[in-house]
Structure 1
């Protein structure tokens, strides 16, 4: 009879298990996610050094390989072969839900194309966390991923955002947020914006207000940490008074 750990590994269905992990607070992880990370054949992670910290916090030891934008295409054939032969591979990103503005999309698409199973293991998401804490309308919403680095392309995207009839959500760098707020303030200085920073972490904050107000705030106090930017719809509900 195989040892207990081997039995557990065999109990996971073959295929790609897309595992959501904490976006900041290590306690924000599901029991199911921990079980999959414990018993998967292999864990494919964006940065092995980052994932090791999560595993060590829960006394999990397993085989890790890196899967990022530089090596994803090269690794896919081997991983498909392993899954076809019964392997259960766990896919994680540094934070949140894999394939959402993170590596893994091509692997997921290749898994489906090969006729293999995708197993979503839901959990933390910076997008939904930011929406739920924003105070803005949340349905429907538009998610645009990371804003473009180039100012012209960013301006085009932000111009579209302030015209939408739903809340728009983006990831942005703390080094570009002032420039981004400058663009919004030039286009529509009174348009309502929310900046979510360091979500679920010790110094979590939400700053809400008109674009010109937040521009002044962050010009005087440059932010640190990960930022999620939310732009209000072009017509605000009457219950939003800030």
Structure 2
């Protein structure tokens, strides 16, 4: 296993905690080859230490001992989506609040366009700790970038783990905008939602969008100087 894979895993884990996207629960992972992915240890993401290493999980077969039950969500998504190289299972507060209203954020500003027209909402409230349910969640995710789990946070994907971490920040910011506009919506005022064409043009990776967000997410981390 490459040392840099564990390094990126640790950076992403702590970034989720540093920016309020995960607390005592959650996990992040990255694909390492065609048949395996690396997932964070079963501890709060903000507490992942510089000595910690991830656990290698096979795409075929049962989860290894000690791996958290919802890691099966990662496994099913990697099985179905060859384009996905990283996943964040998190609890962003604005995303959680919207899910309690049966809503997910629309494409109302730049960051929201990465999920246009909006992420799907998994309606069940139980934690996903059964293989069959994990398959259903992955099926509902489809080709979307993220899926919101009602009252349980979200699962966010990316081409790499760095991209997935950036998408997680984008998702929470989109939910923040949606929440801020709820009073206006209640007053009968309509938001200027991006058209499909506008969203496709805005949801770009050009210009170092993801690289700069990764720098922002990791800035100040004890291991960040090694990667800078």
- Larger-Rg structure: 1
Common fold by TM > 0.5? no
More helix by share: 2
More strand by share: 1
TM-score of the two chains, using structure 1 as the length reference? 0.28
Greater relative CO (CA pairs within 8 A, separation 6+): 2
